[in-house]
Structure 1
Amino acid sequence: MTILITGARGKVGRAVLDRLHTGGLPIRAASAKPAELTVPAGVETAELVLDRPETFAAALDGVRQVFLYPNPAGIDAFTAAARAEGVEHVVLLSSSSVLAPDAETDPLASHSLRVERALTASGLPGTFLRPDAFASNALAWAHPIGHGLPVQLAYPDAHITPVHPEDIADIAVEALTGTALRGRAVTLTGAQSLTFREQLAILSEVLGRDITVETITHAEAEQQMGRFMPAPMVGSLLALWAAASAGPAAIADTAESLLGTPARSFRQWATENAAAFTVPKE
């Protein structure tokens, strides 16, 4: 009755792995580079590459549940192999972006949407976790904040509901070990709508130093972000943030509504990760 954890090097995947291991459940961590995984003693590892079907059998042997990161490459072959190996349930870390009207063509949303549709078509019972923006996305500001530079944003007043990655992990574990979430698609948010400017104000308070917010043009943001990600993805994000500047973001399912435990706040995340915004002294 092994649980297969894909994306075991990711923040959420590793947190899910650790929780299940602490609970004494049999788990297997999968990665395209299993030799690079660092897992607790007694946790199995396996190679799994979705566009290499020859890796499926060993990874899925004896597996009854899968925690799956969304990767459309080879997903149809993977779901077929999972069914053949007796997998009974898949918990997918999807994205709230799949709910957008243009999800089929949007480069961010389509990635997760294709996986959701493949799982649905396969007949495998599944739970789709659709988190909104991660609180940890704020790490994109670590360099300017750490070096005392202004944080430049095209849409500083865009509203989002940042969700703490640990809340996502808690909900994923509940989906894997309980029955209340089985077969559901849940949109996950934090408990508070915050603008980027408000998030930076919280970081400023936590760090005890001023953070300057500088508004730049859409074109300037395109140029800056284009150094690190493909142009279609940049366009998708900027369009999302432009629309989000209209008003507060909606609160959906949270750790409170799904688990009965208070949702972790952005301030809590900022406090836990304050060191990431400070450049070590030489």
Structure 2
Amino acid sequence: MTILVTAASGQLGRLVVDALLERGAQPAEIVATARDTDTIAELSARGIRTAELDYDRPETIAAALDGVDRVLLISGSAPGARLQGHRNVIEAAKAAGVARLVYTSAPKATTAEGFPLAADHKATEEAIAAAGVPAVILRNNWYTENYVPDVTRAAETGVIASSAGDGRVASATRADFAEGAAAVLLRDDLVGETIELSGDTAWGYDELAAAAAEVIGRPVTYRRLSTEEHVAALEAVGVDAGTAAFVAGLDDAIRRGVLGDASPTLAELIGRPTTPLVDGLRAALARAETAA
């Protein structure tokens, strides 16, 4: 069995490759792909086949899929501009006759109203169904690492400001989600299923502030903003109006409960509890400081 991982140069893709190896996949059974293979040269040195795969260049997709049985399609990183690239991979997977396509989608992608990230994922899920490719949809909740900038700012200001209100987030770390994807890729069941994945526990922003305080060693408070105040604050520090509205829209979705459903499914897939918020933040902050 040969497993192809798209976007292997990205933060999630690299972790999926590591998780596959840790779960017993042989290097020769893995194909790691990226738009620029120089960015994954170290994987080649580990005996893993690497290949160019650019979502926007169908000829690279077809070539990379040669001899591949299972594909992990990691969603593109540009909301609003990634659907056609996803469709290119789906069409190539169908043409190649892959036995399974696993796609990293978003929470409640087909039912969440007003969620800025949902549209691309909903359309991609629909494209997978229309193509008839055997598939598993993994709807990943928020990455705990998304909050590293908030914790970094809190180290200076003592404040985490958000318009998420009393909304809750069932986050897990990238490593947790990567291990879940690897587990699904290596299993022989689950085809046809759409799986909502999350951390074991949902937390609110007061708890995020408390976790940040524990990590950085100073008091941190949560400042509740209205959507209008949030947009104005972002624009005041140079964020363009469109991006400010997008970010505030994410917080609005959190306030309305889109990310608040915790489930044991991810922990069951990976065979261990998901990483607690404070531990995930501490590790992510340490990595960020090392990389700086």
TM-score by length of 2: 0.83
Q: Which of 93, 97, 104 is residue 86 of structure 1 equivalent to? A: 97
Question: Is residue 2–residue 63 contact of structure 1 (8 Å, CA) maintained in 2?
Answer: yes
Residue 204 of structure 1: how far off its partner (Å): 1.0
Residues 270/48 of structure 1: CA separation in 2 closer, same or farther (3 Å cut) = same
* CA distance in structure 1 between the aligned counterparts of 2:183 and 2:284, rounded to whole angstroms: 25
Moved over 6 A (4+): 277-281
Residue 198 of structure 1: how far off its partner (Å): 0.4
Which residue number corresponds to residue 62 of structure 2? 57
Q: Deviations over 1:218-245 (max 9, x none)?
A: 2121234461763552353132133239
Residue 180 of structure 1: how far off its partner (Å): 3.7
Residues 277/218 of structure 1: CA separation in 2 closer, same or farther (3 Å cut) = farther
CA RMSD of aligned residues (A): 2.8
Structure with a larger share of its residues in helix: 2
Residues 213/107 of structure 1: CA separation in 2 closer, same or farther (3 Å cut) = closer
Determine whether 1:162 maps to 2:171.
Answer: yes
Q: Which of 232, 244, 247 is residue 257 of structure 2 equivalent to? A: 244
Question: Is residue 142–residue 276 contact of structure 1 (8 Å, CA) maintained in 2?
Answer: no
Question: Is residue 147–residue 279 contact of structure 1 (8 Å, CA) maintained in 2?
Answer: no
Which residue number corresponds to residue 37 of structure 1? 40
* CA distance in structure 2 between the aligned counterparts of 1:239 and 1:148, rounded to whole angstroms: 23
Which residue number corresponds to residue 197 of structure 2? 188
* CA distance in structure 2 between the aligned counterparts of 1:183 and 1:225, rounded to whole angstroms: 41
Residue 150 of structure 1: how far off its partner (Å): 2.5
Could you say what secondary structure the match of 1:273 adopts? helix
TM-score by length of 1: 0.86
* CA distance in structure 1 between the aligned counterparts of 2:291 and 2:196, rounded to whole angstroms: 37
Q: Deviations over 1:14-39 (max 9, x none)?
A: 11111224531421222222222353
Which residue number corresponds to residue 286 of structure 2? 275
Question: Is residue 227–residue 248 contact of structure 2 (8 Å, CA) maintained in 1?
Answer: no
* CA distance in structure 1 between the aligned counterparts of 2:56 and 2:32, rounded to whole angstroms: 18
- State the number of aligned residues: 277
Residues 38/135 of structure 1: CA separation in 2 closer, same or farther (3 Å cut) = farther
Q: Which of 129, 133, 139 is residue 124 of structure 1 equivalent to? A: 133
Question: Is residue 206–residue 221 contact of structure 2 (8 Å, CA) maintained in 1?
Answer: no
Q: How does 1:209-220 map to 2 (within 5 A)?
A: 209-220=218-229
Which residue number corresponds to residue 73 of structure 1? 84
Which residue number corresponds to residue 247 of structure 2? 234
Q: Which amino acid aligns with 1:81?
A: A
* CA distance in structure 2 between the aligned counterparts of 1:46 and 1:112, rounded to whole angstroms: 25
Could you say what secondary structure the match of 1:83 adopts? helix
Could you say what secondary structure the match of 2:109 adopts? helix
Please list every run of 5 or more consecutive structure 1 residues that lacks an aligned counterpart in the other structure: none
Q: How does 1:255-270 map to 2 (within 5 A)?
A: 255-270=266-281
Q: Deviations over 1:86-126 (max 9, x none)?
A: 311011111114043437xx541011111111111111111
